[in-house]
Amino acid sequence: MEELTPHPSQAPETIRSVKARIIGRDAQWLRVRWNILGAGKLVVPPFAGRGRADGLWQTTCFEMFVMPGEGPGYSEFNLSPSERWNAYDFTARREGMSERPMPREPECTMRKGTDMAIFDAAIPAAGLPEGDWLCGFTAVLEEEGGTRSYWAFAHGGDAPDFHDPACFTLAVAAPKPA
């Protein structure tokens, strides 16, 4: 598990740690997991059914950024506990945004206890960029009362910005042919 850190300008109230990692990758799916400790006051968006939606980052949302090769283009995958999702391509940092085609919808599940929450997502492999990547796992976590914290492997500026290349720190090798 890779540790995410909250942006210093927007500290969480009760969330103590967030970790993320790839838990599986094969020809069909990329499986990723986020673990949250101190999740007792975490706001979990209600079930809305699968489907694309914009603005998921306005409440609890999990995101993955994938930059193939040297960039500057990259893809963003937004995944909500509501089961809504979206995927975008960018030609450069916050430029040339377009909806990324997906062969089928990602699958998302959230389990929340009194102190811990686990969010799992499966993204169709055919909807991911090919080759080696630099990857960033992020999370927007809303707590009761409206506090939002912004978590990433690294932060590059005075305000939270997951599109900052400083957030793309995890090297992921292309899968080996079977």
Contacts of residue 162, Cβ cutoff 8 Å, sequence gap at least 6? 63, 65, 76, 136, 138, 150, 152
| In the predicted structure, residue 19 carries a pLDDT above the cut 70 | yes
| Residue 120 neighbours by CB distance under 10 Å | 17
Where is pLDDT greater, at 60 or 156? 60
pLDDT at 177 (0 to 100): 72
Q: Is 29 within a domain? A: yes
118 and 44 Cβ atoms separated by less than 8 Å: no
Q: Is 177 within a domain? A: no
Q: Is 71 within a domain? A: yes
pLDDT at 175 (0 to 100): 79
Q: pLDDT of 121-140, one tens digit each?
A: 999 999 999 999 999 999 99
pLDDT at 69 (0 to 100): 86
Cα angle vertex 145, ends 139, 149, to 5°? 25
| Residue 127 neighbours by CB distance under 10 Å | 17
138 and 150 Cβ atoms separated by less than 8 Å: yes
Distance CA 86, CA 52 (A): 5
| In the predicted structure, residue 44 carries a pLDDT above the cut 90 | yes
Q: Is 82 within a domain? A: yes
How many structural domains does the chain have? 1
Cα pseudo-dihedral 99, 121, 139, 70, rounded to 10: -60
Q: Is 178 within a domain? A: no
pLDDT at 152 (0 to 100): 97
Q: pLDDT of 141-154, one tens digit each?
A: 999 999 999 999 99
Q: What is the CATH number of the domain that holds 115?
A: 2.60.40.1190
Q: pLDDT of 104-124, one tens digit each?
A: 999 999 999 999 999 999 999
- How would you class 166 by CB atoms within 10 Å of its CB: exposed for 0-12, middle for 13-18, buried for 19 or more? middle
152: domain range?
2-172
- Percent of the chain's residues with pLDDT above 70: 99
pLDDT at 70 (0 to 100): 84
Distance CA 93, CA 96 (A): 9
Q: Is 62 within a domain? A: yes
Q: Is 60 within a domain? A: yes
Distance CA 109, CA 138 (A): 17
pLDDT at 178 (0 to 100): 65
